[in-house]
Structure 1
Amino acid sequence: MSLQYGVSLYSYTGDMYTLLTLDDAMAEIADLGATGIEILGEGNVPGYPRPDTAWIDSWHRLLERHGLTPTNYGSWIDSRMWQHRDLTVDEGVTILQRDLRLAATLGFTSVRPKTGVVSLDLKPHPIWDRVVERSLDLAADLGIVICPEIHAPTPIKHEVVDAYLAFIERTGSPNFRLLIDTGIFQRSATFAKHAGLSEEAQEEGWRRPLAVPMSDLVDVLPFVHFIQAKFFDVTEDLTDPQIPWAEIVSTLLDNGYAGYLSSEYEGDRDPYRGVEQVRRQHALLRSLEAGR
């Protein structure tokens, strides 16, 4: 059983505004030997949420040209869209279902709904379960799995994840699963800060190592649909000082995970650094898998 490899366009943030076209980014991903591409809807789709047909046609032509498969589509359900009131359930349903349809049009098979949070440990706004439950039938019709992200500073053993697991058990739907962000396994913080993260976020633990144990991953892995391979720095000798990739890769292979590892570089945003860092990470991951 082998892993699948992809890249989130978020890894090239900055470069895609000044240095890389979408065609360039897809060419980079294909040149890695990766097959999957992940996007953020409102960040990567021109004219979001209603791209014109010319762009949609171009998107599919580029996928075919580079031999890539759309994997995970990032959706935002902004519960704090207005200062004077929260988003209603009906409004949340409209946003999620709009993005499900757009994701399906673009060929994606999973959608990560990022609902606004109500605490620093990322508890989602209480509308999340009703919004998702009312969208499960549509997700099933479109062949899409809705998978909320387990992201630092929320570990796996946490009430947020417990609520997701309870939702899976209660609904019995195969169209709701988990997305794991590997930043939760971070064990050190020996990297530079970058402009994309506030000082408050730094101090409140968004980059504080959680060091979630592999045993916790094993417990939820049967419910994991997608993994964002979050990382901050890989050195020239293919060492990652923060994320324990050898343990992660071994755990995934030993427990039958055959889904995607989608690179999500979140280190310094110097020009072309994201391109080089993703190349290093893929070389590291493939060497670890080959060593098995």
Structure 2
Amino acid sequence: MSTLEYGVSLYSYTGDMNTVLTLEDAFAEIADLGATGIEILGEGNISHYPTPETAWIDRWHALCAQYGLEPTNYGSWIDSRMWRHRDLTVDEGTDMLARDLRLASTLGFTSVRPKIGVVAMDLTPHPIWTGVIERNLDLAAELDIVICPEIHAPTPIRHPVVDEYVQFIQRTGSAHFRLLIDTGIFQRAVSTAHQDGLSDEAQEEGWRKPLALPMSDLVEVLPYTHFIQTKFFDIDDALVDQQIPWEEILRTLIENDWSGYLSSEYEGERSPYRSIEQVRRQHALLRRAEARIRG
């Protein structure tokens, strides 16, 4: 039977954590939603990354215990273009991912999303990805962490990138490499939300041209899917989302007996307090939809 658990990515609160929320405030907010999971970006949320002080690690565990939150997914960055004159080597990328796997384990996370630099606008990852991942599979197994690359717009599910990931799973037989699905790939209507730091071209390709993938595509990869980021942009006062078809997504997960975390990832406008209210609306919407589907 499908069991859906709800969490929140701290990325949802990016703007508010720079203005009105401390780390503990974010923990309290997530717990108050009734959520049980917390997702982070290593570089963005860990003090003195990649070598946090013992006091920070102890505080992290204390906050998890105090607010009853389970560390879920840890976002890792493998910057294949960190040097101007050359690309990252497989050895260097392997070391970076190993470092983040160990840090994620220290903090209690059960999955790591490696974001390896891309070589095309369809988000084709740099060719070092296979070597970097394969060399870390034993470590992932030792730490009991799932490495899960993200399927994110503008990459559809039926695409050579996803085919290669699935073939990698089948070839290695590893239970420690799976997929992370970003629900932005199911977006049906245009979002005009502006994202700081992205070029107009990237914004246009990333989500202003909805992929509107059918649920049948999701069904094909659910057996290989470990984690779902519930990407969204705007939910109105009546708890209606004009962009993401939540009822269809939840029905697909439930009817196909998928179990795991749905982790809120708000990517709408970043005005103060807006992300806090928007995440609350999403959790109310998702829980109502799940209750309707389950009858």
TM-score by length of 1: 0.98
Following the alignment from structure 1 to structure 2, what is the Cα–Cα distance between the partners of residues 197 and 219? 31
Counterpart in the other structure of 1:279? 280
- 2: CA distance between counterparts of 1:30 and 1:171? 38
Aligned to 1:13, the other structure's residue is in SS state helix
Counterparts of 2:280 and 2:267 in 1: how far apart (Å)?
A: 14
Judge conservation of contact 1:191–1:233 (CA < 8 Å) in 2: no
Question: How large is the RMSD of aligned CA atoms in angstroms?
Answer: 0.9
Residue 193 of structure 1, CA deviation: 2.7
Instruction: Structure 2: give runs of 5+ residues left out of the alignment.
Output: none
SS of the residue 1:18 aligns to: coil
Return the letter of the residue paired with 1:156.
I
1:284 maps to a residue whose letter is L
- Where do 1:96-245 residues align within 5 Å? 96-245=97-246
Alpha-carbon distance in 1 for matches of 2:180, 2:249: 15
1:104-126 per-position Cα deviation (integer Å, ceiling 9, x unaligned) = 00000000000000000000000
SS at match of 2:109: coil
Q: In the alignment, what sits opposite 1:251?
A: 252
AA in 2 matched with 1:72 = N
1:20-99 maps to which residues of 2 (within 5 A)?
A: 20-99=21-100
Give 1:288's aligned residue: 289
Following the alignment from structure 2 to structure 1, what is the Cα–Cα distance between the partners of residues 186 and 78? 26
The alignment partner of 1:279 has SS state of: helix
Displacement, 1:222?
0.5
**CA distances 1:272-291 after superposition (whole Å, capped 9, x unpaired):** 11000000000000000011
Residues 219-276 of structure 1, C-alpha deviations (whole Å, 9 max, x = no match)? 0000000000000000010000000001001000000111000000000000011000
Cα offset, 1:14, TM superposition: 1.3
Deviations 1:50-107 (A, max 9, x none): 0000000000000000000000000000000011100000000000000000000000
Secondary structure at the counterpart of residue 209 of structure 1: coil
Contact 1:202 1:208 in 2 (8 A): no
Q: Percent same amino acid at aligned positions?
A: 73
Deviation, structure 1 residue 153: 0.2
Question: Structure 1 residues 192, 96: closer, same or farther in 2, change over 3 A?
Answer: closer
Helix, strand or coil: the match of 1:83?
A: coil
Structure 1 residue runs of 4+, over 4 Å off? none
Counterpart of 1:83, as a letter, is: R
Residues in 2 aligned to 1:87 and 1:190: alpha-carbon distance in whole angstroms = 34
Deviation, structure 1 residue 188: 0.6
Give, in whole Å, the separation in 2 of the partners of 1:11 and 1:284: 16
* CA distance, structure 2, for counterparts of residue 135 and residue 191 of structure 1: 39
Aligned twin of 1:6: 7
Task: Give SS of 1:227's match.
Answer: strand
What is the deviation of 1:18? 1.6
Between 172-181 and 1-10, the greater mean CA deviation after superposition: 1-10
- 5+ residue gaps, structure 1, are none
Compute the TM-score of the two structures, normalised by the length of structure 2: 0.97
Is this contact kept in 2: 1:121–1:154, CA < 8 A?
A: yes
Question: Which amino acid in structure 2 is aligned with residue 157 of structure 1?
Answer: R
Cα offset, 1:196, TM superposition: 4.6
Alpha-carbon distance between aligned partners in 2 of 1:258 and 1:205, rounded to the nearest angstrom: 28
How much does 1:204 deviate? 3.0
What is the aligned residue count? Answer: 292
Q: Residues 139 and 273 of structure 1: is their aligned pair in 2 closer, same or farther, counting only changes over 3 Å?
A: same
For residue 204 of structure 2, what is the amino acid of its counterpart? E
**Conserved 8 A contact 1:37-1:70:** yes
Q: Which residue of 2 aligns with 1:260?
A: 261
Alpha carbons 1:231, 1:265 under 8 Å: kept: yes
* SS at structure 2 position matched to 1:131: helix
Partner amino acid for 1:217?
L
Opposite residue 232 of structure 2, the aligned amino acid is F
In 2: Cα distance, 1:42 partner to 1:202 partner: 22
